[in-house]
Amino acid sequence: SLAKRHKFWETQPVGQFKELGDTSLPEGPIEQPTPVSEVKQEPYNLPAPYEWITCDIDSEEVCSEVYNLLTNNYVEDDENMFRFNYSKEFLRWALRPPGYYRSWHIGVRVKSSKKLVAFITGVPARIRVRDAVVLMAEVNFLCVHKKLRSKRLAPVMIKEVTRRVHLENIWQAAYTAGVVLPTPITTCQYWHRSLNPKKLIDVGFSRLGARMTMSRTIKLYKLPDQTATPGFRKMEPHDVPAVTRLLRNYLKQFVVAPDFDEDDVEHWLLPKEDVVDSYLVESPETHEITDFCSFYTLPSSILGSQNHSVLKAAYSYYNVSTKTPLLQLMNDALIVAKKKDFDVFNALDVMHNETFLKELKFGPGDGKLHYYLYNYRLKHVLRSSELGLVLL
Ligand SMILES: CCCCCCCCCCCCCC(=O)CSCCNC(=O)CCNC(=O)[C@H](O)C(C)(C)COP(=O)(O)OP(=O)(O)OC[C@H]1O[C@@H](n2cnc3c(N)ncnc32)[C@H](O)[C@@H]1OP(=O)(O)O
Ligand SMILES: CN(C)Cc1n[nH]c2ccc(-c3ccc(F)cc3OCCn3ccnc3)cc12
């Protein structure tokens, strides 16, 4: 990536590879805001056959079009065996947090057929970087139809979402990608914990270990039927204030983390069936909320298997341990995920996750997830354990 030219990214206010190691550059915004009145008022030009469309994700029809575009054209693993299959309910959850802007749900249609062929989104988020809480856009779901790749459409999508974010007087963004771009603030490894090893081996997600039989493998990953922690229960609406206090206090230790308030916690962390699950530990003696764990539901389509079409995956989200050892808390998360029929439990090596990954029998994934800030420079690349932010 050091030799590669980035004709678009070299024009953007992001850390540039040639600046790497130059600690004389100040930490913080790279470009200063301009008056909103000076922001380009009209959308960027698209190639002739295409037009912009603001996607109303509340509309069943539009949400289905977005779902179908992503289902057939979104992120695949490096071996093109799996493709993320975000559900419609998940998309509505991910795209309508407190304070969201419908204008940041941006589509490109073919003028004649009205077919949706590209998509990009932003949602507002308060992100703390060291001691500064910065209003940012979290940019996600960038997708160009497979038939329209390598036509430089992505830079136009990115410039358009940037323009619409600027119109709301927001000048920074956060995003992640499996590809290396100028310039990651950190790079995370992802890990997988088998819950249904037979299916994972069947579909080629995992391979039978050397000197391992299938029955020995099933036994290796077997989990208890019941959780171990006294007071471990599903989060409920009345828990929002306590979970907010617990999470805000815990996230203080990380260099980059969301600045969640109660409205954010209510949206992002209250259980939502087939979207997000969250559990907490309420001390049986004191009724204090001492620990929290959560995971979101993101299936992947299995692209080349006869027997199975969907891989049911749970992704570790935000976890807080103050009394229950994180190892025990996460083992309880695995137990409830298994009971909910997930095939695999995924986690990044962010926050304190690396303290439980190996011991709970997670295996390393075959790729990395790079984190980026737009128009905000950090003096040093972070360790993934300094990161307290999980993007969907
Ligand atoms: C202040 C507010 C700021 C808001 C904006 C903040 C920034 C937000 C940034 C977005 C964050 C999204 C986060 C997110 O959604 C999570 S990462 C998931 C991205 N989506 C996918 O991987 C889905 C499958 N792939 C595709 O749909 C296409 O391959 C895409 C659309 C990815 C690229 O379409 P294409 O047909 O394959 O390529 P061209 O159109 O010809 O364009 C090539 C240029 O695009 C650069 N590129 C490639 N992949 C990228 C990626 N994932 N991020 C950023 N840039 C990416 C590439 O480096 C090159 O630029 P360069 O020549 O300079 O190297
Ligand atoms: C974060 N969010 C922006 C989606 C996103 N974009 N690009 C990605 C690249 C990797 C991961 C990822 C993150 C955590 C994890 F445990 C496994 C992952 O990908 C496995 C490979 N894979 C890709 C599709 N199906 C399976 C997510 C993403």
Is 159 strand, coil or helix?
A: helix
Banded model confidence at residue 2, pLDDT cuts 50, 70, 90? low
| Res 1 pLDDT > 60 | no
| C-beta of 386 in contact with ligand 2 (< 6 A) | no
Is the pLDDT assigned to residue 23 strictly greater than 90?
no
Q: What is the largest CA-CA distance in the chain?
A: 67
212 Ramachandran zone, left/alpha/beta (phi>0; psi -120 to 50): beta
Mean predicted lDDT score pLDDT of the chain: 97
pLDDT at residue 304 in the model: 85
pLDDT value at residue 202: 96
Active site residue ranges: 392
pTM of the predicted model as reported, rounded to 2 decimal places:
0.98
Collapsed DSSP state (helix, strand, coil) of residue 201: helix
Q: What is the mean pLDDT of residues 338-354?
A: 98
pLDDT at 58: 97
CA 48 distance to own-chain centroid? 33
pLDDT band at 209 (very low <50, low <70, confident <90, very high): very high
Q: CA separation (Å) from 187 to 16, 119, 348, 370, 386? A: 16, 25, 10, 4, 11
Mean pLDDT (whole number) for 375-384: 97
Nearest alpha carbon, ligand 2 atom 19: 77
**Pocket-testing residue among 104, 127, 142, 172, ligand 1, by greatest number of atoms within 8 A of Cβ:** 142
**What does the pLDDT average to over 336-362?**
98
How many Å lie between the centroid of ligand 2 and the Cα of residue 90? Answer: 15
Q: Is the CB of 266 under 6 A from ligand 2?
A: no
CA 76 – ligand 2 centroid, Å: 8
Q: How far apart are CA 95 and CA 25, in angstroms?
A: 34
- Give the residue-averaged pLDDT of 346-362: 98
The per-residue pLDDT for 22 is: 87
Is the ipTM above a cut-off of 0.85? yes
3-class state of residue 19 by DSSP: helix
Distance 73 CA to ligand 2 centre (A): 14
pLDDT tens-digit readout, 217-254: 999 999 999 999 999 999 999 999 999 999 999 999 99
Half-sphere exposure of 203 (CA within 13 A, CB side): 25
Of 109, 105, 77, residue with least CA distance to 91: 105
Write the pLDDT tens digit of every residue in 129-143. 999 999 999 999 999
